[in-house]
């Protein structure tokens, strides 16, 4: 870790554009144990160790290869990729060996422990049948740790150091939000299921465990002195964050219009400052200073800063009017935010219907997924690339909307986080999970901002080929629909004449498949959701 952090410091100009937070603080944190590292860190690791790295995915297929041109060995370092499918996206790489050493003297004790564990699980399920989430594995989650995260946040709230629309709901004596289940808990992601006093559920999320008072979550280390100056700094942060995370340049919008775009429908503690015209604020507060107001505004700006620098929050909240695409953000407190609860499509109750012989549930879900992919391609300011597209990353709301459940691996065109300095040998060296890249083999450089395949092709290859089993499709559609799925999975064209790289699937295929499926649903009088 220390070597990687030092390498990143020495090659700052190459890597700083791809780091969302303060670069020096990022490098300092990376050197510590249990801090999340990603694709960039693995690429640096390969260079330092002078060994290529291969990541084996549990879903099968070719391993993800991180090449090292100066490799001292033909044998790569092999690591395994793990993902908790039941949760909202916790994933990590592991170097743990799979070799099992059997100590026969412990076998009897292990057998007894397993037997006792099975009895305990059976008893738990018998006494918790009324819980709609009892079938979901909670994985490496610790309820004590999860509650401590909430308690620490509430302590900051009691000290006036964080703010938000739902702090009182989380922290007051008569709190209306209580911890129901830990779904995912790591250094890089928190996902907690919260129950409400109306017997429904919401999800609490963040990319970090605590509100970082060292540097990461603080825009202002000290209480602000000049309100207009503080606002101008916040405007600059919003502009740079939108450009870095979403590729949006907002020169045509006034600063106050930008804040209104993000927060006008939310609970804001200082609306007369944050949501009003800047010129009026400058006139009213240029020579005015009141300590309590300055404290309140400092806390609120630090809170909003900690939220908009989280990729998933920013993307979902900026496009909150697109309710059918991503989970609705309900509110926040400090660095955590609350979203509507979605049931993952790999939930056992849903999978039971999807993998039965019944045709209509498959037709309904396939149509919804095609609609969703079409919307991500055409309804936002730029196509949104889903670089980790699998059934478990989609969820269904109480109203029956199928939405993207996990947004942290979704990037707009030209913002997919590939290392610009990497020397490639194969096209796979330039890929980022499901987003296929292109290697200019003459220059041995990746075309960093170019994705070769598209969302539709990956949806067909990874989801529809498994969902639409030949023996479950009606004979009237069988040959034609399977032909379309095959064309979608493996388009006939090749990128720049490459024998390896397929071009993206044609939008025409999406349209014709939708026409067929909508006709099926109308014939069956299906007007609402099925799960």
Tens digits of per-residue pLDDT, 78-130? 887 654 333 334 455 666 543 334 444 544 554 665 564 555 444 444 444 33
What is the pLDDT confidence band of residue 47, given thresholds at 50, 70 and 90? confident
User: Could you read off the pLDDT of 344-376 as tens digits, one per residue?
Assistant: 999 999 999 888 899 999 999 999 999 999 999
Closest CA to 306 of 404, 172, 205: 205
pLDDT digits (tens, 9 = 90+) for 458-477: 999 999 999 999 999 999 99
Final residue of a domain: which of 311, 341, 371? 341
**394 and 287 assigned to the same domain:** no
b/e 453-463 (16+ beta carbons within 10 angstroms → b) = bbbbbbbbbbb
- Does 97 reside within a domain? no
> How far is residue 112's CA from residue 411's CA, in Å, rounded to a whole number?
49
Query: Per residue in 503-530, is it b (16+ CB within 10 Å) or e — as a string?
Result: bbbbeebbeebeebbeebeeeeebeebb
How far apart (Å, rounded) are the C-alpha atoms in residues 463 and 355? 12
pLDDT at 251: 67
Rg (CA), the chain: 25
Residue 28 covered by a domain: no
> In this structure, are 213 and 176 located in the same domain?
yes
pLDDT digits (tens, 9 = 90+) for 332-347: 999 999 999 999 999 9
Q: In the predicted model, what is the mean pLDDT of residues 283-303?
A: 93
Q: Is the pLDDT of residue 169 over 90?
A: yes
Residue 257: name the closest of 283, 279, 282 by CA: 279
Looking at the fold, whether 264 and 388 belong to one and the same domain comes out as no
pLDDT tens per residue across span 227-261: 999 999 999 999 999 999 999 887 666 777 888 88
Cα distance between residue 386 and residue 373, in whole Å: 9
Nearest Cα residue to 152 out of 29, 341, 336, 337: 336
CATH number for the domain including 391? Answer: 1.10.510.10
pLDDT at residue 135 above 60? no
pLDDT score at 172: 93
Domain stop point among 306, 341, 376: 341
167-171, 218-222, 240-244, 414-418: least confidently modelled range: 414-418
340, 330 contact by CB (below 8 A): yes
Specify whether the CB–CB gap between 244 and 20 falls below 8 A: yes
Reported confidence tier of residue 167, pLDDT bands at 50, 70, 90: very high
* Domain coverage including residue 470: 343-413+452-523
pLDDT of 57: 63
Whether residue 307 is contained in a domain is answered as yes
Q: What percent of the chain clears pLDDT 70, i.e. is strictly above it? A: 81
Element spanning 330, H or E? strand 329-333
Q: With the C-alpha atoms ordered 232, 213, 189, 66, is the resulting torsion angle positive or negative?
A: positive
pLDDT at position 143 is: 94
pTM over 0.75: no
Of the residues 292, 308, 341, which one is the last residue of a structural domain?
341
272-291: average pLDDT? 90
443 occurs within a structural domain: no
If asked whether residues 225 and 195 sit together in one domain, one would say: yes
* Within a domain: 308: yes
Shared domain for 350 and 335, answered yes or no, is no
Instruction: Compare 182 and 267 and report the one with higher pLDDT.
Output: 182
For residues 470 and 335, membership in a common domain is answered with: no
Q: How many domains does the chain have?
A: 2
The closest alpha carbon to 93, from 157, 45, 149, 24, belongs to: 45
Q: Do 247 and 348 share a domain, yes or no?
A: no
Average pLDDT over the chain, rounded to an integer: 83
Contacts of 320 (CB under 8 A, 6+ apart): 265, 328, 329
Whether the pLDDT of residue 184 is over 70: the answer is yes
Same domain, 337 and 347: no
Same domain, 180 and 206: yes
Find tokens 């995912």 and name the residue.
184
**pLDDT at residue 162 above 90?**
yes
Asked if residue 400 belongs to a domain, the reply is yes
Mean predicted confidence (pLDDT) in 439-451 = 83
Local confidence band at 138 (pLDDT 50, 70, 90 cut-offs): very low
Whether 395 and 414 have beta carbons less than 8 Å apart is answered as: no
In a domain, 5, yes or no: no
Name which of 198-212, 250-264, 283-297, 423-437 the model is least confident about: 250-264
pLDDT at 381 over 60: yes
My answer on whether 325 and 382 are in the same domain is no
Shared domain for 243 and 363, answered yes or no, is no
Q: Are residues 336 and 292 in the same domain?
A: yes
CA diameter of the chain: 80
Around 137, how many Cα atoms within 13 Å sit in the side-chain half-sphere? 8
**pLDDT recorded at residue 363:** 96
Q: Would you state the structure tokens that stand for residue 258, as one six-digit string?
A: 């930008």
Quote the pLDDT of residue 358. 92
Whole-number Å distance between alpha carbons of 53 and 43: 8
What pLDDT, on the 0 to 100 scale, is given for residue 2? 84
Q: Can you tell me the distance from the alpha carbon of 202 to that of 196, in angstroms, rounded to the nearest whole number?
A: 7
Q: Does position 43 have pLDDT exceeding 90, yes or no?
A: no
CA neighbor of 90 nearest in space, from 41, 49, 139: 139
Does any domain span residue 215?
yes
């Amino acid at each position: 870790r220390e070597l990687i952090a030092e390498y990143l410091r020495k090659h700052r100009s190459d890597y700083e554009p791809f780091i969302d937070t303060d670069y020096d603080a990022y490098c300092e944190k990376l050197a510590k144990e249990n801090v999340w590292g990603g694709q960039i860190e693995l690429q640096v690791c390969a260079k330092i160790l002078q060994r290529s790295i291969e990541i084996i995915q549990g879903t099968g297929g070719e391993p993800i290869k991180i090449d090292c041109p100066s490799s001292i060995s033909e044998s790569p370092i092999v690591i395994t990729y793990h993902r908790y499918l039941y949760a909202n996206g916790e994933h990590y790489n592991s170097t743990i060996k799979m070799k099992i050493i059997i100590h026969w003297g412990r076998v009897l004790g292990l057998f007894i422990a397993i037997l006792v564990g099975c009895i305990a699980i059976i008893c738990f399920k018998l006494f918790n049948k009324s819980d709609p989430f009892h079938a979901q594995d909670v994985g490496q989650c610790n309820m004590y740790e999860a509650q401590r995260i909430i308690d620490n946040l509430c302590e900051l709230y009691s000290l006036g150091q964080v703010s938000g629309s739902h702090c009182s709901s989380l922290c007051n004596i008569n709190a209306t939000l209580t911890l129901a289940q830990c779904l995912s808990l790591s250094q890089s992601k928190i996902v907690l299921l919260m129950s409400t006093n109306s017997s429904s559920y919401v999800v609490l999320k963040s990319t970090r465990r605590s509100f970082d008072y060292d540097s990461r979550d603080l825009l202002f280390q000290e209480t602000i002195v000049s309100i207009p100056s503080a606002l101008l700094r916040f405007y600059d942060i919003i502009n740079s964050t939108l450009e870095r995370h979403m590729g949006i340049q907002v020169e045509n919008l006034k600063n106050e219009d930008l804040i209104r775009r993000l927060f006008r429908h939310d609970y804001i503690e200082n609306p007369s400052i944050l949501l009003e015209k800047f010129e009026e604020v400058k006139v009213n507060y240029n020579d005015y200073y009141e300590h309590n107001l300055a404290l309140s505004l400092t806390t609120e700006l630090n809170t909003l800063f900690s939220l908009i620098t989280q990729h998933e929050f920013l993307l979902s909240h900026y496009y909150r009017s697109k309710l059918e695409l991503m989970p609705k953000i309900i509110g926040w407190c400090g660095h955590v935010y609350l979203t509507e609860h979605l049931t993952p499509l790999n939930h056992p109750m849903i999978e039971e219907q999807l993998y039965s012989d019944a045709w209509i549930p498959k037709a309904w879900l396939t149509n919804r997924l095609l609609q969703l992919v079409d919307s991500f391609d055409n309804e936002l300011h730029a196509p949104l690339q889903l670089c980790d597209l699998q059934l478990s990353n989609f969820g269904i709301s109480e109203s029956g909307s199928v939405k993207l459940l996990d947004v942290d691996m979704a990037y707009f065109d030209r913002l997919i986080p590939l290392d610009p300095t990497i020397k490639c040998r194969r096209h796979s060296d330039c890929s980022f999970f499901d987003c296929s890249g292109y290697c200019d083999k003459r220059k041995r450089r990746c075309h960093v901002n170019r994705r070769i395949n598209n969302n539709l092709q990956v949806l067909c290859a990874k989801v529809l080929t498994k969902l639409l089993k030949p023996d479950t499709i009606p004979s009237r559609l069988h040959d034609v629909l399977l032909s379309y799925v095959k064309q979608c999975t493996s388009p006939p064209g090749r990128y720049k004449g490459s024998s390896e790289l397929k071009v993206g699937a044609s939008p025409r295929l999406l349209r014709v498949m939708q026409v067929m499926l909508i006709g099926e649903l109308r014939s069956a009088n299906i007007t609402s959701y099925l799960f």
